[in-house]
């Protein structure tokens, strides 16, 4: 069936640039088309918000936030965003077109995947989310529909429409936006979302890839939400016998109902996934699951046997959050406040877990625990109470790791440092004992912290502010070296002009990198000598300089209160914002004038100049004598030091 036949955008030129060709997918908030950018002559994907939502400022803001967030990531495993705009009622994003299919298509077609294939998909997904998490974003809607697999085998994460900044207010009072099957318990219960909610969703996706089915199912979204809140995700090996225990542990770690126990972000989960892969033999990685060749109607997400595979719990939607269970004594007051999801559903028909009354189940569980403790407390203490398992702290900073170990009752005995190309500098790359190993409750752990790669490329810092450049060098394990400053008409003041060694040069960690920093464009210093201080200050500030007046005043030929001298001097080059220091004149010093009448001209000049005066000779014509006949200030008198004394010779 041609789904574009009656689509109003099919064949249309959107915003005078994008020619819409085929409809690719339809979601709850937008439709995605294959289109052609007529300016650059390239195929791209056009994500167009449903016109009914374009009048809602909240949805439009989310759309624009998606464009800006993804544009900042620039990661090979993230679907890129090229442009954002609007054409009438159509608000759109122009995005990278990935020829291929979604992970949902793969699961629908093949069912459960071999562990090697599941990890091959999971790892680039976590790399993309890790980049988002380290950039300060949370995806909030991870699911197989948002994992694209290109015809060339590349894996990319799409649809950052629900992205939020880490630390942004995400708590909501009555609802949460997301996809039922992949919501973390804290999203359902509190509306809270951070990097660990993405980790939870990835754990659910991994379970689905390994088993071909979602861990929690039900006839209504309320039933699925209830199970997320009250039941752990089962071990994949329970559904697929023979799966390695490392895969069970990986799923359990990612989907822990308590977010404090999960890896703190996708980077940490990626480290765990790589460890799990390294621990598996080839026969474990290539285990053929029984679901791989199951009929399409039995595969993940295909409830009706029609091969579509998209149920109500696969769609991103606004979901009402459950209120806390009412106290029996308060039943009348609470009844009017209860909203979807409904109270626990009746037991489903056929085999499977029975959903019981939560209070009755809780009481039964407590009674069982008390009985066990009462009968065998000593055995429990000997076999379990003295020991704990080393929590996973790989990929965390040293401070985060030490806190998590302390919370588990463990101490850090020693911190070692070693090179690593897989772990960022300053993060934990190994522990002794290893994560998951049993250790006495008051035991100690040795941490190995990454120094980063054994050699580091000097980054390109041109144009970056000095403080930012220093931070980037420190993040790579390099040290800022000697800093020199030069004039530059191209690089703004305070930014880096160049580095030594040059960008791209390989250096060992802790090596120094010299920085040349811009002083800005050179400016000629104007001459303000002899000007009043107020006038001189105005002239210099208008030229872009900062003015400082020296506290000490000096005698000079300039009038008292005017500028006697300046530094830098007139005509020198300085940078905008540099300081010019002015020294104020106390006026000239008075000096005794020697009597030079009757002296030879050369002798008279020397005597007057030695006394601090300038000399001017007025020779009579015709020249009958080289003897001084008079002087402008009589000998024995006083004149300002530095002033001019005129001497004359006799004529006819």
DSSP one-letter string for 401-450: HHHHHHHTT-EEEEEEEE--SSS-TTBEEEEESPTT-EEETT-EEEEEEE
Alpha-carbon span 218 to 204, nearest angstrom: 16
The label of the residue with tokens 């190995």 reads 448
Alpha-carbon distances, residue 245 vs 256, 277, 471 (angstroms): 16, 11, 41
Residue 633's φ and ψ, nearest 5 degrees, are: -115, 120
Q: Among 197, 199, 128, 182, which residue's Cα sits nearest to residue 301?
A: 182
**Residue 88 tokens, joined:** 């009438």
**How many C-beta atoms lie closer than 10 Å to residue 421's C-beta?**
9
Question: Based on the number of CB atoms within 10 Å of its own CB, is 431 exposed (0-12), middle (13-18) or buried (19 or more)?
Answer: buried
Report whether 484 contacts 517 (CB < 8 A): yes
Give the single-character DSSP code of 532: B
Our measurement of the distance from residue 447's CA atom to the centroid of its chain's CA atoms, rounded to an integer in Å, reads: 26
Sorted by sequence, the CB contacts under 8 Å of residue 284 that are 6+ apart come out as 115, 244
Alpha-carbon span 336 to 134, nearest angstrom: 43
**How many C-beta atoms lie closer than 10 Å to residue 51's C-beta?**
12
Q: Where are the alpha helices (DSSP H) in 255-330?
A: 266-279, 282-285
Give the single-character DSSP code of 314: G
HSE, side-chain direction, 13 A CA sphere, residue 112: 23
Alpha-carbon span 179 to 177, nearest angstrom: 7
Sorted by sequence, the CB contacts under 8 Å of residue 353 that are 6+ apart come out as 231
- Looking at the DSSP bridge assignments, the partners of residue 626 are none
Report whether 6 contacts 25 (CB < 8 A): no
Alpha-carbon span 213 to 239, nearest angstrom: 9
One of 141, 248, 302, 313 is an active-site residue; which one?
141
HSE, side-chain direction, 13 A CA sphere, residue 580: 35
Q: Which SS3 state, helix, strand or coil, does residue 586 take? A: strand
Alpha-carbon span 169 to 528, nearest angstrom: 57
**Residue 91 tokens, joined:** 């608000």
| 152: annotated active-site residue | no
Give the single-character DSSP code of 237: H
Residue 589's φ and ψ, nearest 5 degrees, are: -90, 135
Question: Based on the number of CB atoms within 10 Å of its own CB, is 551 exposed (0-12), middle (13-18) or buried (19 or more)?
Answer: exposed
* Secondary-structure breakdown of the chain: helix, strand, coil percentages, each rounded to the nearest 5: 30, 25, 40
Q: Where are the alpha helices (DSSP H) in 74-220?
A: 103-110, 115-134, 185-190, 195-211
What are the b/e assignments for 140-176, b being 16+ CB within 10 Å? bbbbbbbbbbeeeeebbbbbbbbbbebeeebeeeeeb
- Catalytic amino acids? 141
């Amino acid at each position: 069936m041609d789904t574009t036949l009656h689509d109003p955008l099919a064949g249309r030129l959107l915003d005078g640039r994008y020619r819409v060709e085929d409809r690719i997918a339809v979601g709850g908030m937008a439709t995605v088309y294959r289109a052609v950018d007529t300016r650059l002559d390239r195929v791209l994907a056009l994500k167009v918000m449903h016109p009914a939502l374009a009048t809602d400022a909240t949805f439009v803001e989310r759309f624009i936030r998606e464009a800006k967030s993804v544009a900042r990531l620039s990661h090979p495993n993230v679907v890129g965003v090229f442009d954002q705009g609007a054409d009438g009622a159509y608000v759109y994003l122009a995005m990278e077109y990935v020829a291929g299919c979604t992970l949902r298509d793969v699961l629908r077609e093949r069912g459960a995947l071999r562990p090697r294939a599941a990890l091959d998909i999971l790892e680039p997904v976590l790399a993309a989310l890790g980049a988002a998490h380290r950039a300060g974003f949370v995806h909030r809607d991870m699911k197989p529909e948002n994992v694209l697999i290109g015809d060339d085998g590349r894996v990319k994460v799409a649809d950052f429409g629900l992205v939020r900044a880490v630390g942004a207010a995400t708590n909501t009072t009555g609802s949460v936006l997301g996809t039922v099957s992949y919501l973390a318990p804290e999203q359902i219960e509190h509306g809270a979302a951070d990097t660990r909610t993405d980790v939870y969703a990835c754990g659910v996706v991994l379970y689905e890839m390994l088993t071909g089915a979602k861990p929690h199912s039900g006839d209504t979204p309320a039933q699925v939400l209830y199970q997320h809140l009250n039941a752990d995700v089962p071990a994949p090996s329970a559904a697929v016998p023979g799966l390695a225990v490392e895969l069970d542990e990986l799923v359990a770690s990612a989907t822990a109902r308590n977010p404090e126990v999960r890896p703190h972000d996708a980077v940490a989960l990626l480290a765990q996934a790589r460890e799990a892969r390294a621990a598996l033999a080839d026969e474990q990685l290539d285990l053929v699951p029984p679901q791989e060749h199951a009929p399409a109607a039995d595969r993940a997400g295909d409830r009706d046997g029609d091969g579509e595979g998209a149920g109500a719990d696969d769609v991103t939607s606004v979901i009402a959050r459950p209120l806390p269970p009412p106290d029996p004594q308060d039943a009348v007051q609470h009844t009017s406040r209860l909203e979807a999801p409904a109270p626990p559903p009746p037991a489903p028909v056929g085999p499977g877990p029975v959903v019981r009354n939560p209070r009755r189940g809780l009481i039964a569980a407590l009674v069982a625990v008390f009985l066990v403790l009462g009968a065998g407390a000593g055995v429990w203490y000997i076999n379990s109470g003295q020991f704990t398992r080393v929590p996973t702290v790989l990929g965390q900073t040293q401070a985060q790791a030490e806190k998590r170990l302390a919370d588990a009752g463990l101490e850090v005995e020693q911190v070692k440092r070693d090179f690593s190309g897989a772990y960022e500098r300053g993060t934990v790359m190994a522990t002794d004992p290893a994560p998951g190993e049993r250790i006495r409750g008051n035991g100690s752990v040795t941490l190995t912290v990454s120094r980063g790669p054994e050699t580091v490329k000097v980054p390109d810092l041109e144009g970056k502010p000095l403080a930012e450049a220093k931070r980037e060098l420190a993040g790579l394990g390099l040290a800022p070296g000697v800093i020199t400053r030069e004039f530059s008409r191209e690089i703004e003041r305070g930014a880096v002009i160049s580095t030594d060694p040059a960008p791209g040069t390989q250096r060992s960690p802790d090596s120094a990198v010299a920085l040349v920093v811009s002083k800005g464009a050179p400016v000629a210093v104007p001459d303000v000598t002899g000007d009043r201080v107020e006038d001189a200050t105005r002239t210099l500030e208008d030229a872009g300089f900062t003015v400082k007046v020296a506290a000490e005043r000096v005698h000079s030929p300039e009038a008292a209160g005017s500028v006697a001298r300046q530094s830098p001097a007139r005509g020198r080059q300085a940078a905008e914002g540099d300081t010019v220091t002015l020294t104020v004149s106390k006026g000239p010093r008075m000096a005794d004038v020697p009597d030079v009448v009757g002296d030879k001209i050369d002798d008279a000049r020397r005597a007057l100049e030695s006394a601090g005066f300038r000399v001017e000779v007025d020779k009579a014509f015709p020249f009958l004598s080289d003897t001084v006949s008079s002087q402008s200030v009589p000998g024995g008198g006083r004149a300002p030091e530095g002033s001019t004394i005129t001497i004359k010779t006799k004529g006819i």
